[in-house]
Amino acid sequence: MNSGVFQYVCYIIVNLPFDGRKRGAVKMERISSGIPELDDRLNGGYPRGRVIMVTGSTGTGKTIFGIHFLYRTCMDGKRCVLVATEELPEDIIKQSEMLGLGLSRFYENGQLVIEKAFQNRSEKVQTSKFGFTPEGLEIELPLLADYVPEGTDVVVIDNLGVFTLRLSVQDFRDQFDALNFILSTKEGCTAMFVMDETACKMTRGLAEYSSSGSLRLVLGENPYTGNLERHIHIPKMRRTCIKLELIRFEIGSGGISLL
């Protein structure tokens, strides 16, 4: 397909009525990813009020994509929630400051709420080592929605993979769909779920099927230079015309830059 035809097809897709049938329906609203070059490729950003999956192996930048999203949303004066399942709030804030995407002021004024799921989980595991098995050591995915109050504009759950280790594939699918449904009832709330590549494979990639968008982060060796490079692949973004190509990106002092 030549570029002219591709651009025409994109125009048709993006400007279709919301449900594909009713004329005059409102076009899908967008919310910035916090990465200008990515917004350009997504017709302005992620679909608002939907679920976006970010997957990848260790070191690909999954958490940083979430930091960009939270920072931009907070800068726009909106309310955010971060459910941190693998890091302490202090560590996440410190990382954001190092990238020039400081979240500390938003955390301090209450605009950004960081739920200490990692700390709570660690304390329960530690308690169980001394002969106690506290209730809630194994949390069900739909209960994560309890962390998200009404009026929240963006929620980032990083990392969802820790909740999949003791679930069958069917149980994960049922609980994930239930979590999506509950969040969809919170008007205008856009969710980003981060999941490591191992957990994604264990659950057969089912999370992507139930999400409106998927960003796969890849770390691979350049066959010509021998250097390791980071790439992003966007296999799915509903009501968005995207090219199925690898997009190289770098992580520098200012965060993520698409090349």
pLDDT in tens, 151-207: 999 999 999 988 888 899 999 999 999 999 999 999 999 999 999 999 999 999 999
- pLDDT on residue 8: 38
Indicate the pTM of the whole model: 0.85
Strand order in the sheet with 80-84: 112-115, 80-84, 154-158, 190-196, 51-56, 213-221, 228-237, 247-252, 255-258
| Residue 167 or 75, more confident | 75
Give the integer Cα–Cα distance in Å for 154 and 95: 19
- pLDDT on residue 26: 56
| Digit-coded pLDDT (tens) for 89-148 | 899 999 999 999 999 999 999 999 999 865 555 554 444 444 444 344 467 899 999 999
| Residue 12 or 2, more confident | 2
- What stretches of 18-69 adopt beta strand conformation (E)? 30-31, 46-47, 51-56
Q: Residue 25's CB: how many other CB atoms inside 10 A?
A: 12
- pLDDT on residue 18: 42
Model confidence at 59, pLDDT cuts 50, 70, 90, reads very high
| Digit-coded pLDDT (tens) for 79-89 | 999 999 888 88
Backbone angles phi, psi at 189, to 5 degrees: -85, 120
3-state secondary structure (DSSP) of residue 257: strand
Do residues 249 and 259 lie in contact, with contact meaning Cβ atoms separated by under 8 Å? Answer: yes
- pLDDT on residue 135: 41
| Digit-coded pLDDT (tens) for 18-56 | 444 344 445 789 999 999 999 999 999 999 999 999 999
Domains of the chain as residue ranges with CATH: 29-258 (3.40.50.300)
- pLDDT on residue 10: 53
Q: Is the dihedral of CA 162, 69, 175, 235 positive or negative?
A: negative
3-state secondary structure (DSSP) of residue 146: helix
- pLDDT on residue 244: 86
Arithmetic mean of pLDDT, 6-22? 43
